[in-house]
Structure formats: C-alpha cells, structure tokens
Amino acid sequence: MERGPLARETQILSGTAGHSHDGVAPEGVTREVARIAALFGDAIRSERRRRRVTLRTLAAVTGLGRATIADVEAGRPATLATYVRVAGALRLRPELRLVDPRRRDGAADRQVDVVHAAMGEAQAAHLLALGYQVRIDEPYQHYQFAGRADVVAWSIERAALLHIENRTGFPDLQDAFGAFNAKRRYLGSEIAAQVGVDRWRSETHVIAALWSTEALLPIRTHAASFAAVCPDPPGNWSAWWCGQPPSPGRHATIIAFDPIAGTRSDRRRWLTLEEIRVGARARHRDYTAAAAAIRGGR
C-alpha cells in the first residue's frame, strides 16, 4: 500500500473512516446543500418583501416561472444560475465562501467580533442606565465547567439576576445549547456568592440572537429545539429591559436583538420567539452586513 506524501495528505483530508471518497459523508453533503439553499431562500424572500416586489413581477423580470421563484424562497435547492438571476433582479450579489468551522463562526472578519461586542455594549449601556449592576464577559468556574457570561446584570434589592448569551449565528446548535444550559445551571450560584446574595429569587437567562436573516433562519428551522431550551415567554426579559421587577423563579427565553438603535424613537430593539417563527423581517442580512452597518455608524 502506498504510504508516500499523497497518501498522507489524503488521510489528513479524509480525517476519519466512514466518509465518502470526497471527504464528506453523503448525508453531510445533503445537509449542507439544504442549509445553503435555505439560507439563500430566506434572504431572497426577505429582500423581495422588503422591496414589496410580487412573485409575479420577480418572475417576469428574471424570466423564471413563479413556481421556480417560490421553490427558491422555500429553500429548495436550485442552480447557481437561478440564484444569480434572482439575486441580480433584487440588486443583490450572491456570494459563496469556503470557511473553516473551527474558527470563530467561520468568518475572518469575526476574529475581531464587532457585532458581538456591539450587542453587549448596547445591552450593558441600557441596563446601567436603569441602575442595575452589570458585568461584561464575566468568567465563572464550577468544578469542571468553566466559561464566560456575555452580559450579567443584577439587583441585590430584588435578589434578581439577568444573564444574556449573545449569538451572532448558530454554526453548531449542540455547542450553543450546551454552553447556554451549563451557564443556566451553574452561573447563578457563582455570581450570588461573588456579590453576597444567599440565593436569587429570580433568575432570567436569555439567548439574544442577532436580528439577521443568517441568525433567524436556524431558529425558524429548529423552532421546537429552541423552544425546548428556552421555553419561557419573554415577560421577564421585558421586565428587565423596562426596569420593572421580574417574576420569581428561573426563566429561560430567546429573543432577536439589534445592536443598532437607529434614529427613530420607536425603533424596536428585540423580537420574541413567536415573532421570529411567524417570519418577522430581519434587520440585517448576515453578520457582514451588520458589521458594515456598525462600522458605518448606522
């Protein structure tokens, strides 16, 4: 059997047994194609609705059938030529990047995570203005469990704790849920011991997803999973955000959050899970668009 450089490189690329000759298991290929098609479809549907373009009009402009456009928006895989024609008609430029999932969220511009930082800054500034104690990127250790909490706020007077886990995307649902569940389980007692509270009468744990098509798509696609991890309505989160006393007990909820306030006084900063599930419009297309908006000062 050949054991030269080519064989060694092939072994490195294939990684583990059980993969097909191209290095990716067939079910993995199908899953990735479906994910990309769903992401493209959701982005196209959101942009078409934002521009108030009907399916009939878009079909006429692209020369494609209405059924084809509907299939694309539903996340059914199409040819690259179809995506290019539809995107071009909506003044979008389709991009397909090859990323290393072992790097933070797989994108080079996320090494300096301006969006994640902006989310934490917006939340901390708002909560501080309401008079709460706030910590950012708070480390905790509980035996073998260690990590950092993105934003933690508390009120000793009310014996209430708020923990926010900011997410700009969900490249690995199991990893996201595992990290959140560990913090939900152990973070409260650690913070209580640090600030001198016997126990919290109220604990609110929140997953705050970036209000983008990229982040909302997996929530819609796996709505039951997110509801299982974050089963509670957003009442406690809303109470914290409005400076009101939260309800007693332990609560876990998920929202979509926009770190950019904008100039309108009525501009909402967050969405509920139900609003996400029924197809509320995304504020940003993806991480890159949100980062550009933040850098541009919008």
In-domain check, residue 239: yes
Is the Cβ–Cβ distance between 43 and 285 less than 8 Å? yes
69 and 149 inside one domain: no
Going by C-alpha positions, the residue among 78, 74, 69, 73 that lies closest to residue 33 is 78
pLDDT tens digits along 225-274: 999 999 999 999 999 999 999 999 999 999 999 999 765 555 788 999 99
- Which range among 88-92, 133-137, 148-152 shows the weakest confidence by mean pLDDT? 88-92
In-domain check, residue 180: yes
Structural domain including 220 reads 105-295
* 89, 123, 152 - which closes a domain: 89
* 89, 120, 145 - which closes a domain: 89
The overall pTM is greater than 0.75: no
Q: Supply the mean pLDDT for the chain.
A: 83
50 and 194 inside one domain: no
Q: Which residues have C-beta within 8 Å of that of residue 162, sequence separation ≥ 6?
A: 127, 132, 151, 152, 153, 154, 204, 206, 237, 240, 246
168 and 49 inside one domain: no
Q: How many domains does the chain have?
A: 2
- C-alpha span between 238 and 32 (Å, rounded): 36
In-domain check, residue 50: yes
Does position 171 have pLDDT exceeding 60, yes or no? yes
134 and 187 inside one domain: yes
Ramachandran angles phi, psi of 53, nearest 5°: -100, 130
55 and 128 inside one domain: no
What percent of the chain shows pLDDT beyond 90? 48
Does position 105 have pLDDT exceeding 70, yes or no? no
229 and 274 inside one domain: yes
In-domain check, residue 94: no
Does position 279 have pLDDT exceeding 80, yes or no? yes
- C-alpha span between 189 and 181 (Å, rounded): 14
The enclosing domain of 84 has a CATH number of 1.10.260.40
| Integer CA distances (angstroms), 193 to 131, 189, 199, in order | 21, 6, 8
